[in-house]
Structure 1
Amino acid sequence: MTTTDIHALVGAYALDAVDDLERVAFERHILACEACRAEVDELRETASRLADTTWSVPPPRLRTEVLAAVGRTRQLPPAESARPMPDARAAVSRWRRFTAGAAAAGVLAAGAGAATWAVQEQRVREKNAVVAAAELREARTEAILAAPDLVVRTAPMIGGGRVTVASSALQRASVVSLRADRAPAADRAFQLWTIRDAAKPAPVGAGLLLAGEASAARIVDGVPGNDVFAVSVEPARGSAQPTEIVAQVLLT
């Protein structure tokens, strides 16, 4: 399976149908490719013209008809309460019951307050840890995509979709974007692999998507230096070796 030509992304780029990795690769490409720049401009102009007929001016009579309908519609009077006004003794009795209930609730709240605070504090710590991990992944992704030696390659998937691998030898890692047209079955999952020698493949597992997941973006260490990056469909728990390869991105 050969690597997809970068020129093939011109239509998807013009319609903003590319992912972040493909956008980075194509925008670098059009800096030096006048033909692709011209084709993008033409496609965007055509798309904007196709959208011209999707909006129409409301008919002039619409405002008049709406105002006339408002004038004919009877407004409902404010609702009146059917309950009689309570007497003073009933009010005092309810006040006493309320005061007693509030006091009891206060005692219970004092005992439960410490436990509630502890649970909330734990949730805050867990949320902060998740946010910190997400920020770390975002920072590393930006570092890889901004690397001066960045190389972006993409390949189609059997069944529809594509895999994009943005690699930096300086960062010793790659950002991998997978977008399949169809998700695997509920008990199956996409698994990622690196292959160092294409002639004598000995695939090494590089990650497992969730069962039934059709798209994902991952940072994979150690991709630079390999010959092939592959994607296969495996049981949800993963496999020791690929059994059904659906995409291969040539890295050399």
Structure 2
Amino acid sequence: MTDIHTLAGAYALDALDELERAAFDRHLRECAACATEVAELREAAARLADPTWSVPPPALRDRVLADIGRTRQVGPELPRPARRGAAPRWRRFAAAAAVVGLATAGGAAGAFAWQQRELRQERAVLAATRAEAARMQAVMTAPDARVHGGDLAGGGRITVVVSARENLGVVVLAAPPAEAGKVYQYWMLDGARPVSAAVLASGEHHSTRVLAGVQGMESFGVTVEPAGGSPTPSLPVRAGIPLV
């Protein structure tokens, strides 16, 4: 039988059937720990659904398009030009007409190839968006999902939902813009060793991100770093959140 305590995430997202919901409603009246967990999960879910929060993160499309831009695209293959030489006049007229036709066809082929590239890009962005949303859903509904949050020094708030079973976390940031030439960077700490988890894009200060590799991590941190990020965190740490 399923441990009723593990249904908190599904309950918070209205993912239970009627019998399960009725049972969990009764359980909530007696379990303060589950009531607190449901409230925290609902708060995190509300943040994810708020239109001022970007889901998927605003840099996702740019990252996908950048990856596509580094992939060599194969253009339309054009026929080789014929060897030059003497030809009857009618052949020269025919060749000129063929050149005009080829130019028109080449333009159409180029436009078609451009449209195909655009379509591939949009499909890639859509697929990445769906994958990101599915991973967020997996974290939020995981039986072991836990919500952690804290304020940022200098203003702002960060919420972290982690699932050791999924080995994933969802990080929701609402903060003032970083200083000019600076960006927010996320860190996870395994003991005393900081590991860079994500570097936000320039100007990105309202963000929702899925982070992998949370299993075994003891704490989560946020710093402000030079654009492009740093190999080690710079002081002061804007937020430090225990995950255990």
TM-score w.r.t. the length of structure 1 is 0.56
Q: Aligned Cα RMSD in Å?
A: 2.3
Counterpart in 1 of 2:63?
A: none
Q: Which amino acid aligns with 2:125?
A: V
1:230 to 2:221 alignment: yes
Are the counterparts in 2 of residues 164 and 177 from structure 1 also a CA contact under 8 Å? yes
Bigger CA radius of gyration: 1
Counterpart in 2 of 1:214?
A: 205
Any runs of at least 4 consecutive aligned residues in structure 1 with deviations exceeding 6 A, and if so which? Answer: none
Do the aligned partners of residues 206 and 110 (structure 1) sit closer, same or farther apart at CA in structure 2, a change above 3 Å counting? same
Are the counterparts in 2 of residues 163 and 249 from structure 1 also a CA contact under 8 Å? no
Counterpart in 2 of 1:129?
A: 124
1:109: how far off? 4.5
SS in 2 for 1:203: strand
- 1:73-152 residue pairs with structure 2 within 5 A? 109-152=104-147
Q: Which amino acid aligns with 2:241?
A: V
Q: Which amino acid aligns with 1:118?
A: A
Matches of 1:137 and 1:213 in 2, distance apart?
Answer: 18
Q: Which of residues 181, 184, 188 in structure 2 aligns to 1:187? A: 181
1:224: how far off? 3.1
SS in 2 for 1:163: strand
1:215: how far off? 1.6
1:186: how far off? 3.0
SS in 2 for 1:160: coil
Matches of 1:243 and 1:115 in 2, distance apart?
Answer: 49
Where do 5+ consecutive residues of structure 2 fail to align?
1-11, 14-23, 37-99
TM-score w.r.t. the length of structure 2 is 0.57
1:212: how far off? 2.4
Residue identity (%): 36
Are the counterparts in 2 of residues 163 and 179 from structure 1 also a CA contact under 8 Å? yes
Matches of 2:231 and 2:223 in 1, distance apart?
Answer: 12
1:219: how far off? 0.9
Are the counterparts in 2 of residues 223 and 229 from structure 1 also a CA contact under 8 Å? no
Per-residue Cα deviation, 1:176-223 (whole angstroms, up to 9, x for no partner): 11111x1112310000001111xxx22110010012221211111122
Counterpart in 2 of 1:241?
A: 232
Q: Which amino acid aligns with 2:116?
A: E
Matches of 1:129 and 1:213 in 2, distance apart?
Answer: 22
Are the counterparts in 2 of residues 192 and 231 from structure 1 also a CA contact under 8 Å? yes
Matches of 2:225 and 2:239 in 1, distance apart?
Answer: 13
Counterpart in 1 of 2:57?
A: none
Q: Which amino acid aligns with 1:194?
A: M
Matches of 2:210 and 2:218 in 1, distance apart?
Answer: 18
